[in-house]
């Protein structure tokens, strides 16, 4: 084949043709030889082993049989119409059934012939059968050649019933490999890496991923292709980061001045943790570099991000710039406003507040103060990004995230100063496993506070079931008698909203019976309430007018009630791990010992049990995030859903952390020594990046 032959349309491949090509286009987005080649098997089956029908059970899974087709007829009407067959071997018989493409299949199959049948055993009305089995006329030659690693490709019903089932796909792949040679697949990794890691060549690796002859060949191919995929992604991310740093100039905060120093010496009420100090140094370096800062600050709930944010703002003020802090809810914004106003007392700093609820004259005064510079720090909700908010000189914009702002909203903060944009710091309380962070935020700078302030008592977490209900209530009474407050949280999801609200209501009533007025007052908050009512109820709890807060997950987002020491979570099995962790973070904020009680039904799925055990075992958000990644896979974690970046061809971030780390290190080292990839040994990389790397955009730009 000639150069560029991989771009040939699959239509011209033996065994494909226009009709099947169109199906592959539509169903799987496969257009060219290259697309086909890069569509890897998702598993392999052993075609050398046969089962006996007599030995089959409902849980036998996918099996391969050899037998004679004894019966074949179309039965039923309308939607129940199906093709039904019966296969017999020397040990017994089993029914086969097809629901789609039945006329085509009926013509293909012939009664009395011997077949190799491949499919998954299931039970229907106490009878074993196999639905949509793969059928191949028995051919002794084929059996001799059969592989113990026959590839199985992602497929669809349409493909399976229109002549593109697993067997046909294998044939097409074989035809493809007859057409392409090593010359069509020049290597894209430098020779020294291939040698160092003993990788197979690219051509060999691709061949082996489709048609491995042994487990060893398969492992080799996988390792190389995973490395390759992660390596080029990291290379590209690092290039994007470098280019952005070169291109986007920023304000240079030259000095640390009186605001910062006075605060640090006279007002800071505690010693900073080592992690806080480290992060402040990282931020300081960014702010003094004349390049716009784009930093993500990750820190578990309660790790002390606010003070780091505040001290960064003081650096801006010291250089005659303003700063702002945006929070996702009114309550959170107000809490920030209160605590930051207190910290700033006596420092001659004017702190302003803006949200939807600030109206009329008050609003006008705030807007004027921001524009004429008399307000130094502005705190508020997304009201901050409205066009009417014009800063005199905004130097630093901080958002306190917890997943509430979209990228587009944050981008508006950029426009709030010229000629340079403000520096940007995004604080998030959702720990992300390192592998995910390296990828999702691979082109950003990330700081991590991985340490809690000293003296904090670890939250004690317990798992309880319905049998313990009375004891749990007794425990709540004891804690309330000590002057503490209690959260009780119920799940609420859209699909079962009515039932969930009913549960919440029932829970409220039974708790009201256990904790009657006038000794006890109870708040209730859920998403269906009006914003005003919600705030009112929340505020009563914050002010300790109520002792118990019954709520759905609306409280997940950062309310700070240090006096609350007990978190009871109902139907724990219905919450995700990271959500549970966020919820638990609502307690343990004061000096008292705090408790988290996870209520669940007695019967739990394996995954549910593991989630709860993880929660009981550890308070560390990063450890929990890692466990979550392992349990659910990268695509399903909070905050990652929309980002196409996690759609890997072969790499799996929940398992390939080591390869990822290696790929990133090597990519970084290469760029360090040969930034423009000009050296002879890097031409292969450069060529490949130019051809295929462009698709990767700076998706993760946080601001």
The residues that touch ligand ADP, with contacts defined as CB under 6 A, are 270-273, 276, 299, 301-307, 429, 453
Residue 409 Cβ vs ligand ADP, minimum distance, rounded to whole Å = 20
Tell me whether residue 254 or residue 271 sits nearer to ligand ADP (CB atom).
271
Residue keyed to tokens 């293909």: 108
Give 333's DSSP letter.
H
Residue keyed to tokens 């090593």: 182
Residues 6+ apart with CB under 8 A from 544: 485, 563
For the chain, what is the largest distance between any 2 Cα atoms, rounded to a whole number of angstroms? 96
Angle at 237 between CA 433 and CA 653, to 5 degrees: 30
3-state secondary structure of 435: helix
* Structure-token pair, residue 360: 């009329």
Residue 580 CB coordination number (10 Å): 24
Residue 460 CB coordination number (10 Å): 13
Residue 349 Cβ vs ligand ADP, minimum distance, rounded to whole Å = 18
Q: What is the dihedral of CA 296, 297, 300, 302, to 10 degrees?
A: -140
Distance from C-alpha of 7 to C-alpha of 629, rounded to nearest angstrom: 36
3-state secondary structure of 701: coil
Q: CA nearest 440: which of 139, 233, 621?
A: 233
Tell me whether residue 208 or residue 276 sits nearer to ligand ADP (CB atom).
276
Q: Which residue is nearest to ligand ADP (CB)?
A: 304
SS (H, E, C) 120-189: EEEEECCEEEEECCEEEECCHHHHHHCCCCEEECCCCHHHHHCCCCHHHHHHHHHHHHHHCCHHHCCCCC
Tell me whether residue 160 or residue 582 sits nearer to ligand ADP (CB atom).
582
Tell me whether residue 202 or residue 581 sits nearer to ligand ADP (CB atom).
581
Distance from C-alpha of 310 to C-alpha of 347, rounded to nearest angstrom: 13
Tell me whether residue 151 or residue 304 sits nearer to ligand ADP (CB atom).
304
Distance from C-alpha of 336 to C-alpha of 371, rounded to nearest angstrom: 22
Note whether 308 and 284 are within 8 A (CB).
no
Tell me whether residue 16 or residue 307 sits nearer to ligand ADP (CB atom).
307
Residue 676 Cβ vs ligand ADP, minimum distance, rounded to whole Å = 40
Tell me whether residue 133 or residue 304 sits nearer to ligand ADP (CB atom).
304
Tell me whether residue 206 or residue 427 sits nearer to ligand ADP (CB atom).
427
Residue 319 Cβ vs ligand ADP, minimum distance, rounded to whole Å = 24
Give 9's DSSP letter.
B
Residue 638 Cβ vs ligand ADP, minimum distance, rounded to whole Å = 17
Tell me whether residue 273 or residue 572 sits nearer to ligand ADP (CB atom).
273
Backbone angles phi, psi at 383, to 5 degrees: -55, -25
Residue 267 Cβ vs ligand ADP, minimum distance, rounded to whole Å = 12
Residue 690 CB coordination number (10 Å): 10
Distance from C-alpha of 26 to C-alpha of 89, rounded to nearest angstrom: 38
* Structure-token pair, residue 188: 């894209």
Residue 587 Cβ vs ligand ADP, minimum distance, rounded to whole Å = 12
User: Would strands 114-124 and 127-131 be described as parallel, antiparallel, or unpaired?
Assistant: antiparallel
Residue 243 CB coordination number (10 Å): 12
Note whether 362 and 370 are within 8 A (CB).
no
Residue 238 Cβ vs ligand ADP, minimum distance, rounded to whole Å = 29
Residue 487 Cβ vs ligand ADP, minimum distance, rounded to whole Å = 16
Tell me whether residue 250 or residue 299 sits nearer to ligand ADP (CB atom).
299
Residue 301 Cβ vs ligand ADP, minimum distance, rounded to whole Å = 5
Distance from C-alpha of 331 to C-alpha of 339, rounded to nearest angstrom: 12
Tell me whether residue 309 or residue 421 sits nearer to ligand ADP (CB atom).
309
Residue 347 Cβ vs ligand ADP, minimum distance, rounded to whole Å = 17
Tell me whether residue 316 or residue 448 sits nearer to ligand ADP (CB atom).
448
In sign, the C-alpha dihedral spanning 566, 569, 572, 577 is negative
* Structure-token pair, residue 205: 């690796």
Q: What is the dihedral of CA 239, 245, 247, 248, to 10 degrees?
A: 140
* Structure-token pair, residue 517: 């007025």
Residue 560 Cβ vs ligand ADP, minimum distance, rounded to whole Å = 6
* Burial class of residue 212, CB neighbours in 10 A (0-12, 13-18, 19+): buried
Residue 685 Cβ vs ligand ADP, minimum distance, rounded to whole Å = 40
Tell me whether residue 303 or residue 399 sits nearer to ligand ADP (CB atom).
303
Residue 335 Cβ vs ligand ADP, minimum distance, rounded to whole Å = 8
Residue keyed to tokens 């002859």: 213
Tell me whether residue 53 or residue 301 sits nearer to ligand ADP (CB atom).
301
């Amino acid at each position: 084949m000639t150069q560029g032959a991989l771009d040939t349309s699959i239509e011209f491949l033996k065994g494909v043709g226009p009709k099947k090509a169109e199906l592959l286009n539509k169903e799987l987005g496969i257009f060219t030889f290259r697309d086909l080649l890069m569509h890897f098997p998702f598993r392999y089956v052993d075609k050398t082993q046969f089962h006996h029908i007599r030995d089959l059970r409902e849980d036998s899974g996918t099996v391969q049989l050899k037998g004679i087709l004894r019966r074949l007829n179309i039965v039923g009407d309308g939607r129940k119409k199906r093709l039904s067959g019966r296969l017999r071997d020397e040990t017994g018989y089993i029914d086969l059934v097809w629901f789609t493409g039945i006329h085509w299949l009926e013509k293909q199959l012939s009664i009395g012939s011997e077949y190799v049948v491949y499919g998954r055993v299931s039970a229907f009305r106490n009878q074993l059968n196999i639905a949509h089995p793969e059928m191949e006329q028995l051919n002794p030659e084929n059996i001799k050649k059969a592989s113990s690693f026959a590839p199985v490709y992602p497929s669809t019903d349409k493909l399976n019933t229109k002549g593109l089932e697993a067997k046909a796909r294998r044939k097409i792949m074989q035809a493809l490999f007859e057409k392409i040679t090593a010359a069509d697949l020049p290597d894209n990794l430098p020779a020294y890496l291939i040698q160092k890691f003993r990788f197979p060549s690219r051509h060999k690796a691709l061949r082996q991923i489709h048609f491995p002859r042994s487990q060893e060949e398969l492992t080799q191919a996988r390792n190389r292709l995973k490395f390759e995929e992660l390596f080029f992604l990291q290379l590209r991310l690092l290039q994007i980061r470098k280019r952005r740093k070169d291109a986007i100039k920023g304000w240079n905060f030259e000095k640390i001045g009186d605001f910062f120093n006075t605060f640090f010496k006279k007002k800071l009420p505690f010693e900073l943790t080592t992690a806080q100090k480290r992060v402040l140094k990282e931020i300081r370096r960014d702010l003094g570099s004349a390049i716009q800062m784009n930093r993500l600050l990750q820190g578990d709930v309660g790790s002390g991000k606010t003070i780091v944010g505040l001290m960064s703002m003081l650096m801006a003020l010291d250089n005659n710039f303003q700063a702002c802090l945006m929070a996702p809810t009114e309550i959170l914004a107000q809490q920030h406003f209160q605590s930051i106003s207190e910290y700033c007392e006596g420092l001659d700093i004017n702190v302003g507040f803006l949200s939807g609820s600030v109206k009329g004259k008050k609003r006008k005064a705030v807007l004027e103060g921001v524009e004429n510079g008399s307000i130094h720090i502005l705190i508020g909700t997304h009201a901050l990004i409205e066009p009417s908010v014009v800063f005199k000189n905004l130097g630093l914009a901080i958002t306190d995230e917890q997943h509430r702002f979209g990228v587009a909203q944050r981008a508006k903060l950029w426009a709030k100063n010229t000629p340079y944009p403000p520096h940007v710091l995004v604080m998030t309380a959702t720990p992300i496993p390192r592998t995910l962070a390296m990828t999702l935020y691979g082109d950003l700078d990330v700081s991590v506070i991985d340490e809690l302030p000293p003296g904090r008592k670890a939250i004690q977490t317990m798992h309880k079931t319905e049998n313990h209900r009375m004891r749990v209530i007794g425990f709540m009474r004891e804690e309330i008698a000590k002057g503490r407050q209690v959260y009780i949280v119920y799940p609420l999801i859209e699909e079962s909203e009515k039932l969930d609200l009913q549960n919440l209501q029932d829970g409220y009533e039974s708790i009201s019976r256990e904790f009657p007025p006038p000794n006890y007052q109870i708040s209730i908050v859920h998403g269906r309430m009006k914003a005003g009512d919600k705030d009112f109820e929340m505020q009563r709890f914050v002010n300790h007018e109520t002792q118990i807060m019954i709520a759905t997950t609306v409280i997940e987002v950062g309310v700070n009630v240090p006096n609350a020491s007990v978190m009871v979570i109902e139907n724990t099995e219905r919450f995700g791990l990271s959500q549970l962790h966020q919820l638990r973070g609502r307690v343990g904020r004061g000096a008292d010992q705090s408790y988290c009680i996870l209520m669940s039904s007695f019967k739990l799925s394996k995954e549910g049990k593991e989630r709860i055990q993880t929660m009981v075992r550890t308070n560390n958000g990063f450890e929990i995030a890692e466990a979550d990644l392992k349990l659910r896979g990268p695509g399903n974690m909070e905050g990652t859903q929309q980002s196409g970046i996690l759609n890997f061809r072969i790499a799996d971030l929940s398992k390939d952390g080591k390869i990822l780390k290696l790929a990133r290190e090597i990519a970084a080292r290469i760029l360090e020594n040969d930034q423009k990839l000009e050296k002879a040994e890097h031409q292969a990389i450069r060529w490949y990046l130019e051809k295929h790397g462009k698709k990767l955009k700076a998706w993760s730009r946080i601001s």
